[in-house]
Every structure is written in C-alpha cells, then in structure tokens.
Chains A and B, each alone.
Chain A
C-alpha cells in the first residue's frame, strides 16, 4: 500500500483510479494483475474499513462477481465469511402466488453469496498490499483533474500530481470526477428509503433469500453466516416511504423488533435486530456518458440503481472486469488506451446491460410498490407464470447470477 511519507514528488502511473471502494480496488487489482502500474487515491482511511461503523452493510455477490474475485485470487479470503444463497423465494405481500428459484435447477453452484462489505474490503486491501505494481494513496483528497491530449493529471490536496494516460472515476454516486468532467446524469428519486440492518433469528435460514414485495416497497432478507457466538443472522433491506423512515429508525428495540417481525414473518422463529440501523434514500441515476477523453467512470459513479435486484455492486464489478480487459488488450497492442476511440468499446459494452437492468428494476419497483388491486393480481399471475415456466425461471436465474450477456474474460474465469 502506497503511502504519503515515502512518495514526496509527483507520481507517474499508467492508470489512476480515484476512489478506493470495492469497484475501484477490483479494477486496480485487475489492471495490476496484467502488469500495469496503477495508482489509487482514496479519501477515507483504510484503517477504518474493518469497523462496523464505517460500513455495516452486506453485498450480494453474484456467481459472475465471484468468478472475477476467484480469478484475481481474492475469493479465498472472502469465502470463509460468505453465506451461499441456495434458493430465492419471491412473494407478493399476501398474494397466494410464489416464485421459487432453486440453485439445484441450474447445477452451477449457489445463486450467489452474501458477504459483509468489511470482509470484501479487507480481502481487497490485503491483495493491494501484496501487489508490486499498485500504489494506494490514502487518506488523501483530490483537488482537481486536468486532462489534455496526452495525459490526465490528478492534483492531490497536498499539491502533488498523479499523471497517467487514463483516469478512472470510481468515486461513487456523488462522483466529483464525473461532475468535474461536465458529465451530466439522469436522475430519478423514489419517494422511498431503505433501512438496512442485521438481524438474528431462532432457526437457521438454510441459505434462503427472500424478496417480499410489500406495499411500501420490497423487503429483502439475505442469509448471512452465523456470528462468533453461533447466532443465526440475516441482513435485511427494508424499503419504506421516505417520510416514515426517521421515526422507524428512532424506535426503541422492542418496538423496532415488533415492526420488523410483522414484515419479516415468523418462518425463522423470533427475530431481533442487532447492530446499527442505516438508511439510504433510494434513487436511480445514470451518467449520460461513461467516458470522456482520458477518463472513464465505473460503479456508482456511472450508475446507481434501485437495490431491489441486489445488483449494484455486481454491476460495478462487471464494469471493472470489462474496462480492465479493454485497457489491458489495448496496452498489449501498444495503443494509447486513454483515447476516447479505445474507451468507446467499454461504453458500448456496458451501457446496454446497465440501462436494461436499471429499467427492469425501476419497473419492478413501480409495479410492486403499489396497492392497486388489478395491478397486484397481474403481477401475482406474472410471478406464478414465471414460476411454472422452467426456461423463463432459468433465464431469470442466469441473469441474477451475472452469467448472461457478452461476458468479460474475468467473469468467465480467464485471466487477463
């Protein structure tokens, strides 16, 4: 891991990544695996990443993302703390119809894994420490970015500059790299927020994930590993109308558990929340372009979608795998990979996937966050139809597993 004291002067790299989050570090490690010299600049202090308080969330790792991590040698460190999703049950409030995805039907292993973000971050950070061609400069802010026909210079807030033919904005939903480049985004705000917390329950979840479409929005139950005390745990993503969320967050433990139990159901016995409660406003934002001269955007900087399908991080990992492949292949041809004519391949590759998924999750959310009777009947029948029709069910599963479409080599399990 690079460090402030040792590097006093300006730094030259082949790719500069602004933002050391999960997508940014995955990209950096993929590029470094092919021998490119990469510099990552992260605002937060990595020493805090292991704290529950820094990020208490979990991520759903699709089979495709897991392959990327495996190929980069990162999965081993995550696997011990990853809970496999063996089946997904989708229910619609109290409609009798029920959609069941069982991993056994595809024979491709678990449908995905639930991993705590702190575990993913620790695995990435460990690999960064071991990578000879990757420097992480953190905690360090970015004062500005200057791009010309030759290179992109990232000016740090200590006045040093990191120059490279390409800068990547992996700096999240409020991306300063994106805004600084004058790339607009299309944004929708849902009048919804998600409450995220960890719960314990009496009985083991047996690897089942639940997506309950309740009237205020989806309520997801994601299976986690047991904690050190052997308690069975799940993570919940509880969508509510925005104005009701502050009151819910302020409830005392007993009242909160009561409200939780009504939505969670009693299939796993008594349920109680442990650990901090988080809330996130829900929205959908898509950058109008993922590239500019000497600049590319990945992850939430390019697109932040509704978490209904649990695909946010997976899209970011897929971005990282696609961009790394385009850049490494161009570098091996001696091409100037910061040129827009090279980066266009990345944009073309990713944009279709992302717009399609954003539209689907938006539609699902609108369809299901609605108490209108006929609509509920239609969607209930839709679930039942998908459930009865094997090919459709398998298609949904492959899509959710991140195994459909034109896959980057890393997603196929091939090294760059």
Chain B
C-alpha cells in the first residue's frame, strides 16, 4: 500500500524560527522538499496519492457532515466551518475541502511545500490560508478550529504524545480531530515499504520508517491522554482490481480515526 505520506513531517517547530523542534525530524523534511514542485503532476511521484485521495476526502466530508449535521451531497456542505490541515503538503486535501466550503488553513514545516501549495491554490482560484508553521506554534498562538486534520503525519513525528497534545489543543470545544496513518503491522511493512517503495516504485524509497508507524491502540491512547474521545476507527483499503481505495473495516495497513473534544 502506498500512498500515505503526502502530508509529511507535520509536527514540531518551524524550521525557520530557531525555536527548537521537539517533534520534527530534519532529515525527513529535506527529503520532502525535493519533491515539493511535483505535488500536482498527475504523472509525477505523488500520483499514487492522487489515487488515494478520494477515499480519505470522502471519509472526512462524511464524518464532518455527520458531526455538524450537514447533508454531504449538497453544493458546499462544509460552508462556514473552520478547518486546519496539519502537514498540508501540496494542499491535496486542503483544496477539495475549500471547494466544499470550509475555511481552510494549511500548515507545513516545509516552506517549499507551503510555497507550492499557495501558488497552486491561487491558480485554481481558491482562498486558502497557508503558513509555514508547526502544530505546536499554532497551539501557542491560541488558535482553534472546528475540524483539525493530521493525515499521514503521525508516522513521521519524533514525539507522538507532544504532537497529539498540540493537535488536540487546536480543536475547539465540540470540534473533531481526524488522524490518518499507517498501522505498525507486518502487512503494512510489506505493502507500504516493500511494496509501495521498492517493488511498485509508487513512493520514493525512504518515505516511511516502519518503526515510527502507530497502532490504533497507541493512537487512541495518545488522543485520550490529550482529553479527546475516539468515536470512529476505519480502515482505508486498496482494491487491486480497480486500483482504487475505499473506506472499510480492515485497519491493518492504512487507517483513519475521528476523535471529539467535549463541548
């Protein structure tokens, strides 16, 4: 299984502000920056992620609509909701969310990613606030959002607990935190690392470090320690016949979790 890893190293401090980076891994960021310009090339290195995108975007839309009592099939179902996308990468999720009506802020510790994302959103006529920043920094500023996303981020952070704490802080009371990542199973190792990086060449080698993958139990514990209540854990599974992804019950490789903050 490929696909994760669009949103890269999401946590930690700004690389630029010298404030120290407890949960950012500098070597990983450098690797992603090399790819920043290719985010939106349908035949480029992020092609698998574009194929992966509809399943998780549908999940986010549907969970957000269920939580806020909106009808998902309407024109702009997320109209007026504020959303933070941590580790926004090239904006692959931020853009569709903005089209669905959300007021989106995208942050990423990589200035190159933010530059690429901002340029692309402007070209598409979308109003998205992009900042080179970390979750910790935004949390210190006291900002909160109706929906916070951390997609394919936690498997890249150095300190999971610190990252989830900052993310939880950014959710306004009554809001939701959606976290997607890779499970630390033998199957995930075979599919995400051997399969996607080495055999299929879907992802650059070295994209993932299996030891940093997070199990659903660890993620649940971290979210609960940050004062959130986990409401949904779903798998995102690959169908090789249609080369497409859908949300299902198998959390053995890619999975996505929703947690609520008490109002």
Contacts and interface: CB of A to CB of B under 8 A. Distances in A.
Contacts of A341: 42, 47, 50-51, 53
A21 to B, nearest CB: 29
Would you list the 4 A-B pairs with minimal beta carbon distance, nearest first? A334-B96, A334-B99, A341-B50, A334-B100
Contacts of A340: 42-43
The residue among A330, A332, A342 with the most chain B CB atoms within 10 A of its own CB is A332
B58 interface: yes
A335 interface: yes
Interface in A294-351: 330, 332-336, 339-342, 344-345, 348
A339 B124 CA distance: 12
A335 B96 contact: yes
Interface residues of A, number: 17
B94 to A, nearest CB: 10
A316 B237 CA distance: 32
Contacts of A149: 40, 123
Contacts of B75: 35
Given A341-B42, A341-B50, A333 B58 contact: yes
A334 B97 contact: yes
Interface in B70-89: 72-73, 75
Contact of B243 (A335, A339, A348): A348
A293 B43 CA distance: 10
Contact of B54 (A150, A293, A335): A335
B232 interface: no
Contacts, number: 47
A49 to B, nearest CB: 33
A334 B243 contact: no
A333 B96 contact: yes
B236 interface: no
B124 A336 contact: yes
Contacts of A35: 75
Contact of A150 (B50, B61, B100, B124): B124
A332 B50 CA distance: 16
23 contacts: A35-B75, A149-B40, A150-B124, A332-B61, A332-B73, A333-B61, A333-B100, A334-B57, A334-B97, A334-B98, A335-B53, A335-B57, A335-B96, A336-B95, A339-B42, A340-B43, A341-B51, A341-B53, A344-B51, A345-B242, A345-B244, A348-B242, A348-B243
B40 A334 contact: no
Contacts of B43: 340
Contact of A330 (B47, B54, B95): B54
